[in-house]
Amino acid sequence: MTPTTARQDRGGGMTPVTARRGLAAPAAGRRTAGLRRTLALGRSEGLLLRRNGLAVAIALTLPIATVLGLRSSPELTGVIGADIGAAVVTAVAALSLNLFVYYHLVTALVARREELVLKRLRTGEPTDLEILAGAAAPAVTVAWTQIAVAAIAAAIWFGVPLPVNILLVLTAIILGTAVFVLLAAASTAMTPTVELAQLTTTPMLVIPLTLSGLYVPLTELPHPVELLGRLLPLTPVVDLLRLGLSGTTTDGRTVDFAGSLAPAVPSVLTLLAWIVLGALATRRWFRWEPRR
């Protein structure tokens, strides 16, 4: 075995020659190599995504269909908010994260697990985090593109003003993405096959979306249901997007961000809590090999 092929897998075995000689690569070099591996895995997953006709159709039609649907139904503005442009962007962002990032990633990870792809990757150079990040990259890219397209379309058709606080908008999208990627990885533990993904993901697809305040204001629901809705992972994303885009809260109050960002703190803390829970659940229950 040559020095360039000697390497160590996670179950033990050969030690890399460079490690034995104490010639560890610089941290910057390791980060660069890790980024290259993640991008390579993401490109491979992207090619597989392109071959999924249903996923491609959803990716292409979701933002425009949502904008056109709300544009042709102005009566919906009374249900989801007075600012229809901001409501459109919020709706597309919530649907993209919940229906595309979460569901697509569950099915993709389960498929790769059952095909032994994850097991083979794990015996190679990529770390666990790189493998998961590479698998999630195409879905995240599509979701963020959908949000950007929806924002452009809403600006053209509804005259969306500049966001009141762009930092809150970015915080909602970035933290929300992290939450649903981790929840997708954790949900694979309950999904033995791709065919059963529709069943195992239904609670996470339906309940958070229904109780997010996107369609029915939470203040109109019974107090226990309202409290449950505020604790679910999609609600803080909707709240932060509304605050950042139009400066209004879920109960219709206008916020002056020149004074304080206090109204955004509960939503940020809720998303951070979900990130911690999702990371712990993924670390504890995520499987790299088929369930037998």
Residue 158: CB atoms within 10 A of its CB come to: 19
Assess contact for 56 and 49: CB atoms under 8 A.
yes
pLDDT computed for residue 190 by the predictor: 92
pLDDT of residue 239: 92
Give me the pLDDT at residue 230, please: 92
Q: What is the pLDDT of residue 146?
A: 86
| Residues forming beta bridges with residue 9, ordered by sequence position | 12
SS3 188: helix
Give pLDDT tens digits for 62-102: 666 766 666 555 444 444 444 677 888 888 899 889 888 99
Give the pLDDT confidence score for residue 23 in this predicted structure: 39
Q: Return the ∠ at Cα 88 (arms to 86 and 90), rounded to 5°.
A: 70
Predicted pLDDT at 30: 72
**C-alpha torsion 242→244→249→254, nearest 10:** -130
Which amino acid, residue 191? Answer: T
Q: Can you spell out the DSSP letters for 100-133? A: IIIHHHHHHHHHHHHTTHHHHHHTSS--HHHHHH
Cα–Cα distance measured from residue 89 to residue 97, given in angstroms and rounded to the nearest whole number? 12
Q: What is the mean pLDDT of each run of 10 residues along the chain (292 residues)?
A: 41 38 55 76 73 66 67 48 73 88 92 91 87 90 88 78 87 96 95 90 91 84 91 94 81 61 89 96 92 66
Q: Look at residue 254 in the predicted model and tell me its pLDDT.
A: 66
User: What is 204-260 written as a DSSP string?
Assistant: HHHHHHHTSSSSS-GGGS-HHHHHHHHHSSHHHHHHHHHHHHHSB-TTS-B--TTT-
pLDDT for 55 equals 64
pLDDT at 172: 95
